[in-house]
Amino acid sequence: MERNMKLPDNRLENKFSESKPLYTKSEARIEANRCLFCYDALCTVACPAGIDISTFINKIASGNIRGAAKTIFKKNLLGVTTAQVCPVEELCVGACVYNKYNSNPINIGRLQRYATETAIQWEQEQDKKLFNTKVSSDRKVALIGAGPASLSCAAHLAHEGVKSVIYEKDNLPGGLNVTGIAPYKLFSDAALKEIDWLKETGLEIQTGVDIGHDISIDNLIDNFDAVFLGAGLGKDKFPGIPGENTSGVWGATDLIRKIKNDHTFTLPENLKTVNVVGGGNSAIDIARELAILGVLEVNIIYRQTKAEMPGYQHELDAAQKDGVRMIEYAVPVEIIQNNRLVLYTKHKITGEPQQFESDWIVIAIGNERDAGQLIPGLEIDEKGCVIVDSQTKRTSVAKIYAGGDCINGGKEVVNAVADGRDAAFAMLHEWGMLDLQHERKNHG
């Protein structure tokens, strides 16, 4: 299949190597045959998408790769990318029974990637579909934002013959899968390739369309049977300290996107030291990316201890192996530019002033939560997240559903995928196109 979307080759992203490369056929069979195929497998319980993990691994072990992929796609139509970006160490792999016996757990993510990529490749080479799309119905759904939640929702709807139109403000679809995932986990072109495959279901994506500006919400509500809000988080948050707008101070999301997508972007030759403010996974990711790209000194500056960081321990361990250093109990106070940038902090416990010089400072303390403001009348919680029914993803406004970061504040890609699927199933059930109770009973 020709890829419709491809970014220029000469991007910094292409200087990275995959941390978990694609298995060969023999590697996948060997790893799959290690699985104990547990009854009531803990790995499946730990999967936010509810994939029947032991079943798909069993199918790989027996050589039924298409069957394995179909088991995955039944629950997660973004199985290729989630296999690479999921923090499996915290989810399915972390729950593997082998951990109890100090044995290496099954590499579930790499097996999932092998099954899904191999099956899609087979589909394209043989010109045979893994799934048959149903005859078109008269139902149609508008989706706001082309991230994983909307893509999942639209693809499930399209499989059932529902016309699905995704409106994306950006010039690229895919959300953070394309613009914000560390390159050593997932390349942007791989995410775009998956989207091209999803588009074969018949879903439509219109980029460069700003809902609320180019098209009104009322227009969508009037002309579609349902609207799904899948817009992610907003711009980088900044701490509100003097000097944060100084040249050389970056938001983490913006800088990661530059590295991944902008072929004109390069690191300055005199970039020797970078201080990253924050303690989440974005802080760890951008720090590690800069270290891999050759920045000599990269520090993560956090207001509490390493043990209190919200970022995953295995991610921090990997970053520290690449040379990233941790500075604890440092609360940012001010940024001043002399010959270099100087970050002034105070020690959280003692109040003692500290200062850290660097060439760049990266702020990675989270993102704005403003997606709920797109639609008047939506109930929003105190954290700025859209309130939905936990099972159907219905909002407080008729015909409006929501999922992904706008309802959970920024969980994993797989959570967004599950939200989109659940919303699609709820819509189909409401229209008499799916028995939701049967679906839950038979497929979890």
CB atoms within 10 A of CB 140: 16
pLDDT digits (tens, 9 = 90+) for 173-220: 999 999 999 999 999 999 999 999 999 999 999 999 999 999 999 999
Count Cβ neighbours within 10 Å for each residue of 257-294 and write b for 16 or more, e otherwise: bbbbbeeeeebeeebebbbbbbbbbbbbbbbbbbbbbe
Question: For the chain, where do the domains classified as CATH 1.10.1060.10 start and end?
Answer: 12-126
d(CA 164, CA 226): 10
Residue 285 contacts by C-beta under 8 Å, 6 or more apart in sequence? 182, 252, 256, 315
Nearest to 378 by CA among 144, 209, 160, 151: 144
Look at strands 140-144 and 163-168 and give their pairing.
parallel
Q: Is 96 left (phi over 0), alpha (psi -120 to 50) or beta?
A: beta
* Average pLDDT rounded to a whole number, residues 291-312: 98
Fold type of domain 140-169+208-234+368-443: FAD/NAD(P)-binding domain (3.50.50)
> Kindly report the CA angle at 320 between 308 and 100, in degrees rounded to 5?
65
> Kindly report the CA angle at 249 between 247 and 253, in degrees rounded to 5?
130
What is the reported pTM? 0.95
* CATH homologous superfamily of 12-126: Alpha-helical ferredoxin (1.10.1060.10)
> Kindly report the CA angle at 41 between 40 and 43, in degrees rounded to 5?
145
Residues in the chain: 444
Alpha helix ranges (H) inside 359-412: 405-408
pLDDT digits (tens, 9 = 90+) for 372-426: 888 999 999 999 999 999 999 999 999 999 999 999 999 999 999 999 999 999 9
* Average pLDDT rounded to a whole number, residues 221-225: 98
Question: For the chain, where do the domains classified as CATH 3.50.50.60 start and end?
Answer: 140-169+208-234+368-443, 249-363
CATH architecture, domain 249-363: 3-Layer(bba) Sandwich (3.50)
pLDDT digits (tens, 9 = 90+) for 249-279: 999 999 999 999 999 999 999 999 999 999 9
Nearest to 294 by CA among 269, 276, 316: 269
The answer to whether the beta carbons of residues 363 and 236 sit under 8 Å apart is: yes
d(CA 386, CA 440): 24
* Average pLDDT rounded to a whole number, residues 112-138: 92
